[in-house]
Structure 1
Amino acid sequence: MNNYRKTLLALPLIILSGCNSSSNSNKTITKAQVKPKADYVFSSAKLDELYQERQEIQQEAMRLTYDGVQYNKILFAEDLNREQKVVRLADSLGRQIDLYLPDAGVDSCGIYTERKGLDLFDCDAALRSVSNETTLIKTTTNNKELPIELEYDNDLSQYVTSIGSTILSTTQNGNQITITTSFAFNAFYHNVLKETGTIDRIESTLGVSTYSQLFDIVKLYQGSEMRLRFNNHIGGSADDDINMYTGLMIKSNNMTTVVTPTGSVFSGGTDLFAAGYPRILQRADTNKAIALNKQVGVHSWAEGDKTAKEFPYTDESHRKQATYFKKVMGNKGIDFYIFTLDSAPASGEHWMTKANSDKYSFITRIE
């Protein structure tokens, strides 16, 4: 019996000795972290720095003079594809205009307003005067023969579509404020591109424009009950860093979030939906399972050639997301974040099922 006890007591020493044998004397065995820690610090100082960088893009990236009026602030922007974008600019009086801007040699450029329609102008490489810092196009439009001058910063203009393309509008009923999303370029898509959304969804993106609009609404209606309705298809965020601060603003103001029958959220849109409580899904088709309606979608993320799971959970990107979801969802937040990483690759999509939702107490009411 004594020999048996001595053998049991000796086992841990033998194992430890094996781990510290001469061949491994300089190696440390580190167990992979099972979950990211929710220890990232969101702060006003970090937000201010992010916001100032984004404001520089809005205010300095482009200047457009059309028919004698100068437009110098970018309100919204959206990529049509890798070679074409549409940008909404405003002048000092708040008058707005849409600029269709393809890469050189792809297509003519154009100015669009709902009242006047599309006025095209040539903008191929021969008409683009490129310096180290800026590119200048100075010509007249084809249809109306109006003078036009477009100057854009070569670096900042690459990031204009990170501003986002989602409009927030408000209605008030007593102390209740309803905030409703819509796509800034609906008219351009319908009238110029002839896209109505009946075949492929027309999606808007989130960005600093979403944050600034919501900030102004919260400031104006401070203390009111607020409901944020995702009434169009939100395809995601073009700026995850600022989007998390938008979500934290939703959380701190105790907003209800609603996906309406005509709306959906995906990726960064789902992040904002998660920040509300209660979280209500109004089904597009009440006869279908919620996943088939494709209204609440998630996926993983990637950076360059690396997928999210190839980064250790100690990486700041994971810690930011874990902290965000813990703040907006409580104890199930980190597990929900890990679920999104496993749900679909960054290039894919997963539309949440009721079982998914129930597991993480995600959608609190389905109508």
Structure 2
Amino acid sequence: MKKIMLLMLIMILGLQGCNSSSDGSDKIVKTTNPPEVHYIQPGDVADYIAKFKVYLLGLKLEFDGGESKIKYIEDNKSTDSIILLYDKGLAYMGYDFDNNRPLPSLTLLEGDTSDLANFNPTRSLVGVNMTLVGNPAISTYSGPVHDKLTGNIYPVNLYVNESLRTAGNSKLVINGTKATLSGTLGTSTYIQIQDMINTTSVDTLILSDISGSINDAINMHTGRLIRKAGLTTLIPKDGNVNSGGVDLFAAGVERVYQNGGKVGVHSWCCTADGKDAGQLSKDDKAHGAQLTYFREMLGAKKGPEFYFFTINAAPANKIHLMSVAEMVKYTLTTP
């Protein structure tokens, strides 16, 4: 087959030579592939994950003589806080989202967290004159918390670092050859998918209820794990998949969409000067990593077309729900 193809290539080149002018004025135009751009270089991912795991070990809450691991739940911009899960309940850690920095406030709410949607605290402890030491990457909240019911005061120390929010809160449930992914995607998602690929026979990843990604840099490498493993991605009829979740859907070798599922896209945010991607020119270098990713997943033509569609479909603070026709147009799914 290779020899036949070579002969055909020689014949084609010969025909082109016969049709070319003899004065040598025709010039051969060389085409080059666009350069690959990555937030995290592929060769550095293993080291990035190893360091992340070390940082995770430093996340903890010291309270009332005990120590508890903490886990990111969600951002709560209405209260300027990040909600964390700890052994006895939820912690509301002060955070300035506009300036991306921690605030010296802390509230502990004790209670049963098995059903967070209906969480009903049985005890409330509010920080008094909390101190904050460190920087956005590594911070310690220290001070007393006041029990509003008894009036008692307890010392508390909360240790957080950059792994807290970049971890996400994704949940992966494996059932035979299928696995269902939900939540906010982050660095922990990469670890979950990697472990799943290495230890199970899962061939289909169901994307259930995904709000998006909190760490796009690693999320694109999570997509590469999915593609390399040859997984099928599926959005079920009751699925609600947005932003970075759509990026993972695009990574499936086969992509299955069931009518009724919601597929939401929007622009990412933000550049150093506060612009979201849709406000940038098409040749802005800030598009580089996403263009590299979508070329890999959807091809040299459809990949960039789909990417620019997403960032112009809705600003960063809104969502555009894709129609089936739009998904077919950009080859996310077939008719």
TM-score for the superposition, normalised by structure 2 = 0.72
State the identity %. Answer: 28
C-alpha contact (below 8 Å) 1:108/1:124 kept by paired residues: yes
* 1:6-45 → structure 2 map (5 Å cutoff): 37=34, 39-40=36-37, 43-45=41-43
Question: How far apart are residue 119 of structure 1 and its match?
Answer: 4.4
Residue of structure 1 aligned with 2:293, choices 299, 324, 332? 324
Per-residue CA distance 1:104-138 (angstroms, 9 max, x = gap): 79884223434796343423342x24445522145
Amino acid at match of 1:272: L
Task: Report the Cα distance in structure 1 between the residues aligned to 2:144 and 2:105, rounded to whole angstroms.
Answer: 18
Partner of 1:101: 92
Give the AA of the match of 1:40: V
User: Relative to 1, partners in 2 of residues 1:249 and 1:316: Cα closer, same or farther, differing over 3 Å?
Assistant: farther
Partner of 2:180: 180
* Counterparts of residues 217-366 of structure 1 (less than 5 Å): 217-221=196-200, 224-232=201-209, 234-284=210-260, 295-303=262-270, 304-311=273-280, 313=282, 315-331=284-300, 332-364=302-334
Instruction: Structure 2: state its 5+ residue gaps.
Output: 1-32, 95-102
Paired residue type of 1:81: K
CA contact (8 A) 2:89 2:108 kept: no
**Alignment deviations for residues 219-241 of structure 1 (CA, whole Å, 9 cap, x no partner):** 112xx342111222x11111100
Structure 1 CA distance for aligned equivalents of residues 93 and 66 of structure 2: 22
Residue pair 2:208, 2:241 contacting (<8 A) in 1 also: no
Q: Distance in 1 between matches of 2:275 and 2:47?
A: 27
> For 1:306, what is the secondary structure of its paired residue?
coil
* Distance in 1 between residues matched to 2:62 and 2:269, nearest whole Å: 39
**1:119/1:56 Cα in 2 relative to 1: closer, same or farther (>3 Å)?**
farther
Residue of structure 1 equivalent to 2:166? 162
Partner amino acid, structure 2, of 1:168: L
The alpha carbon displacement at 1:347 in A equals: 2.1
Counterpart amino acid of residue 46 in structure 1: D
Q: Give 1:312 deviation, angstroms.
A: 5.0
Q: Secondary structure at the match of 1:231?
A: strand
* Contact 1:84/1:100, CA 8 A, preserved across alignment: no
When the two chains are superposed, the root-mean-square deviation of aligned CA atoms in Å is 3.2
Report the secondary structure of 2:121's partner residue.
strand
Cα 1:358–1:68 shift into 2, 3 Å: same
The one-letter code sitting in structure 1 at the alignment partner of 2:53 is: Q
Quick check: 1:207–1:242 contact (8 Å CA) kept in 2? yes
The correspondence for 1:206, drawn from 172, 185, 190, is 185
User: Unpaired segments of 5 or more residues in structure 1?
Assistant: 1-35, 90-95, 183-203, 285-292
> Runs of 4 or more off by more than 6 Å in structure 1?
104-107, 143-148
Distance 1:305 1:112, change over 3 A: same
Higher relative contact order (CA 8 A, sep 6+): 1
**Whole-Å separation in 2 of the counterparts to 1:322 and 1:335:** 9
Match of 1:346, SS state, is coil
Deviations 1:285-329 (A, max 9, x none): xxxxxxxx6x01111223242232454555553111111111112
Letter in structure 2 aligned against 1:206: L
Q: How far off is 1:216 after superposition?
A: 1.2
Cα pair distance change 1:230/1:356, threshold 3 Å = same
TM-score of the superposition, structure 1-length normalised?
A: 0.66
- 1:70 matched to 2:67? The reply is yes
1:151 equivalenced with 2:158 (yes/no): yes
Q: Tell me by how many angstroms 1:53 deviates.
A: 5.1
**Residues 117-163 of structure 1 deviation map (CA, whole Å, 9 limit, x = unaligned):** 6343423342x24445522145575679896733224xx26x62332
**Aligned residue pair count:** 281
1:79 alignment partner AA: D
Q: Is the partner of 2:61 in helix, strand or coil?
A: strand
